[in-house]
Amino acid sequence: MKTRKRFGQHFLHDPGILKRIVEAVDPAAGDAIVEIGPGEGALTRPLLERTGHLTAIEIDRDLAARLAREFPAGKLTVIGADVLEFDFSALPSGLRIVGNLPYNISTPILFHLARHAGRVRDMHFMLQREVVQRMVARHSTPDYGRLSVMLQTRFRMQKLFNVASGAFRPPPKVESAVVRLLPIAERPDWDEAVLEKIVREAFSARRKTLRNALPLNSTDYEVLGVDPRLRPENLAPEDYLRITRRICAR
């Protein structure tokens, strides 16, 4: 199939990498597997060998039709949709989501999926290596930012292994990596919309001090035990949660 640049398509074809991904996911019969962007089905086939059935979300109508022709509906449920508009709450809980995500919209996809974390068992994704480094970055490091905070408040994450560009067709101009996301079991006790607003405002002015970047007063900083002279990247995800609770309570 000819790749379509507007969909950010780079088809994974390396058998060794495909095997490592399947081993990392370790699917079993009965698992509620959802594959985002199955493309030509290179990962779909070995997953189906282990599970017997999975759901695939594919925006490319030609690829979706090709997969539907190859696999009976009893084995593969193909949903022709934009994953950014798909409501994952329509699927059963305990989802195991996998995929080689399109790099041009990977961050919006991750934010979208984070809103459904309560319905997810785990997620395994191929992403641009730089994005994975930002996801797992610790505070006070160069890669730490908005993506780090928003995902680390909902997931425990682990970078599994790097993938060279030659594993894809066509080869992307960046290196890739596979990452595992495990939802944190505790239900959120904070306002997600307020947290998103605070983190967005903080990292849009990350070179400013907290005093100039966050809507807090001197009493807030004293109660929270946070130094207002620090910068946004110096706060851990837990600090942003405490700030969110403080603002909501106030």
pLDDT computed for residue 102 by the predictor:
87
The residue count of the chain comes to 250
Same domain, yes or no: 130 and 228? no
Same domain, yes or no: 174 and 231? no
CA 231 to chain centre: 26
**End position of a domain, from candidates 183, 211, 236:** 183
Name the one residue in this structure whose structure tokens are 């950010």. 8
**End position of a domain, from candidates 130, 159, 183:** 183
Same domain, yes or no: 129 and 205? no
Same domain, yes or no: 142 and 232? no
pLDDT computed for residue 6 by the predictor:
47
Same domain, yes or no: 64 and 171? yes
DSSP string, 20-68: HHHHHH---TT-EEEEE--TTSTTHHHHHHHHS-EEEEES-HHHHHHHH
Name the one residue in this structure whose structure tokens are 């004293």. 222
Q: pLDDT averaged over the chain? A: 92
Same domain, yes or no: 83 and 203? no
Domain at 101, CATH number: 3.40.50.150
Same domain, yes or no: 109 and 210? no
Same domain, yes or no: 171 and 222? no
User: Which tens digits make up the pLDDT trace of 143-182?
Assistant: 999 999 999 999 999 999 999 999 998 888 889 999 999 9
Q: Which sign, positive or negative, has the C-alpha torsion 116, 122, 128, 129? A: positive
Strand partners, 125: 99, 179
Same domain, yes or no: 127 and 244? no
Total number of domains in the chain:
2
CA nearest to 191, candidates 227, 155, 242, 135: 242
Q: For residue 88, what are the domain limits? A: 5-183
Domain at 212, CATH number: 1.10.8.100
Same domain, yes or no: 227 and 157? no
**End position of a domain, from candidates 131, 163, 183:** 183
Q: In whole angstroms, give the CA distance from residue 132 to residue 155.
A: 13
User: Which tens digits make up the pLDDT trace of 2-53?
Assistant: 555 544 557 888 999 999 999 999 999 999 999 999 988 999 999 999 999 9
Same domain, yes or no: 165 and 143? yes
Residue 63 confidence (pLDDT) above 50: yes
Token readout for 219 is 């009493």
Say what the pTM is: 0.91
Same domain, yes or no: 52 and 164? yes
